[in-house]
């Protein structure tokens, strides 16, 4: 139907679906995203990083400080990934201009004065739990998230990574898809889950569910928690998911790296409040338990991974009641800021 010069498709038509998909998921939300394991970026090394369709160069200075700048040189656009780290700078291979971790040009070998505007666009980053995270956007709009139910005195497992053949936003969306919990994860809610907007960036789901024993992980969970389990999951602008199991007091962080429009990489870390008194024996037991918890979470998520592959999420036909959490998720997602960082266009892929 054409009205007011615009096409208005039926509620569930293919066209309206396409419009909703484009509007909802067209570009990257401003958020913290993992970009590399710390151990994969040693001093003096660099690596290419893609965030959706934008291209970056991540490097670690010889003194150990990480930095991330636009990948193409502000002089003539040479690919800096062919350059090298020199001291505290990344050096362009073409004419040798050097840039520090903030992207500032610090040296031009031909002796000309450094011109105004000789700067690579850079992103802010932080290193946590053995993972490098960047803030996609001009300036962080929220601090690196911490889950209110866990103390800041955390013990963590080494991170593990899982590749997912699906767009990055599937990870957050999946957490609020309450219909799939029973079919895919063997969790039957004992009462409707509680959905709350903690702040404009953080949507949270709290639920208590009966564990329907199907797989070995479910059997272990019933040994640990009994027949029901209470869980909270927070989405922080889709780049970080925080989970807390209220029965075991273990939590986890899942960082979602949007490696392309069709693929993402999950960085999983198990977390636990640190015991006040630490002995060598309980430290070792805790370390092993945390490693196991990370593997356990990966196994719990495994049934999702195959099904999610090639998914093209959109806001389709939602059921009243059972899909209310999804409706809230779509409203939250639509309202999230997605301002492109300054000069970002320079980093976009040339078709």
Residues that bind ligand FES in the complex, under the rule CB under 6 A: 73, 75-76, 78, 92, 94-95, 97
172 touches Fe ion by CB under 5 A: no
- Binding partner selected for residue 314 from Fe ion, ligand FES, none, CB under the kind-specific 5 to 8 Å limit: none
Q: How far is residue 188's CA from residue 177's CA, in Å, rounded to a whole number?
A: 13
Cβ proximity to ligand FES: between 48 and 183 the closer is 48
- Dump the DSSP string for 65-129: -EEEEESB-TTT--BGGGSEEETTEEE-TTT--EE-TT-BEEE-TT-PPPPTT-B--B-EEEEET
Query: Could you say which of Fe ion, ligand FES, none residue 186 binds, taking C-beta under 5 to 8 angstroms by partner kind?
Result: none
Nearer to ligand FES, 81 or 252 (CB): 81
How far is Cα 90 from Cα 158, in angstroms, rounded to an integer? Answer: 29
The tokens describing 96, both together, are 């040798």
Angle between helices 280-308 and 216-225 (to 10 degrees): 130
In the complex, minimum distance from the CB of residue 304 to Fe ion, in angstroms, rounded to a whole number: 4
Q: Of these, 46, 174, 178, 235, which contacts Fe ion (CB under 5 A)?
A: 174
Between the CA of residue 84 and those of 87, 104, 211, 246, what are the distances in Å? 10, 16, 53, 47
Residue 75 vs 314, nearer CB to ligand FES: 75
Integer Cα distance of 300 and 184 in angstroms: 10
| x-marked contacts with Fe ion along 178-217 as a string, rule CB under 5 A | ----------------------------------------
3-state secondary structure of 238: coil
Answer with the entry of ligand FES, Fe ion, none that 174 interacts with (C-beta below 5 to 8 A by kind). Fe ion
CB 316 → ligand FES: shortest distance, Å?
47
What's the min distance (Å) between Cβ of 344 and ligand FES? 19
User: Whose Cβ is closer to ligand FES: residue 99's or residue 129's?
Assistant: 99
Instruction: Report the residue number, 174 or 259, with the smaller CB distance to Fe ion.
Output: 174
Find the shortest distance in angstroms from Cβ 53 to ligand FES: 22
Residues found in the chain: 351
With beta carbons less than 8 A apart as the criterion, state whether 228 and 208 touch.
Answer: yes
Token pair of 146, please?
A: 């911490």
Which range, of 174-182, 215-223, 224-232, 274-282, touches Fe ion by CB under 5 A? 174-182
Q: How far apart are CA 60 and CA 57, in angstroms?
A: 10
Closest distance between ligand FES and the C-beta of residue 301, in Å?
A: 43
**Where do contacts with Fe ion occur on this chain (CB under 5 A)?**
174, 304
């Amino acid at each position: 139907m054409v009205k007011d010069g615009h096409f208005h498709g039926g509620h569930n038509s293919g066209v309206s679906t396409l419009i909703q998909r484009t509007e909802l998921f067209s570009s990257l939300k401003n958020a913290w995203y993992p970009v590399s394991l710390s151990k994969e970026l040693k001093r003096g090394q660099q690596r290419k990083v893609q965030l959706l369709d934008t291209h970056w160069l991540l490097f670690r200075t010889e003194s150990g400080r990480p930095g991330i700048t636009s990948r193409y040189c502000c002089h003539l656009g040479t690919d800096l990934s062919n350059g090298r780290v020199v001291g505290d700078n990344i050096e362009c291979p073409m004419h040798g201009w050097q840039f520090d971790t903030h992207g500032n040009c610090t040296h031009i070998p031909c002796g000309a004065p450094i011109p105004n505007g000789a700067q690579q666009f850079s992103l802010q980053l932080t290193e946590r739990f053995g993972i490098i995270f960047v803030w996609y956007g001009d300036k962080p709009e929220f601090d690196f998230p911490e889950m209110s139910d866990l103390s800041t005195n955390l013990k963590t497992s080494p991170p593990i990574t899982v590749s997912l053949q699906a767009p990055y936003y599937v990870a957050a969306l999946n957490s609020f898809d309450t219909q799939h919990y029973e079919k895919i994860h063997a969790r039957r809610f004992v009462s409707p889950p509680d959905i709350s907007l903690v702040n404009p960036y953080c949507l949270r789901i709290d639920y208590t569910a009966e564990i329907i024993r199907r797989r070995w992980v479910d059997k272990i969970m019933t040994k640990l928690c009994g027949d029901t389990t209470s869980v909270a999951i927070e989405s922080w602008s889709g780049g970080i998911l925080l989970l807390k199991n209220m029965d075991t007091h273990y939590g986890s962080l899942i960082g979602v790296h949007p490696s392309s429009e069709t693929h993402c990489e999950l960085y999983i870390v198990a977390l636990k409040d640190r015991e006040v008194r630490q002995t060598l024996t309980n430290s070792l037991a805790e370390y092993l338990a945390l490693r196991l918890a990370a593997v356990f979470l990966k196994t719990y998520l495994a049934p999702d991974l195959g099904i999610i592959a090639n998914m093209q999420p959109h806001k389709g036909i939602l059921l009243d009641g059972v899909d209310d959490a999804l409706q809230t998720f779509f409203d939250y997602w639509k309202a999230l800021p997605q301002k492109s960082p300054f000069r970002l266009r320079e980093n976009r892929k040339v078709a």
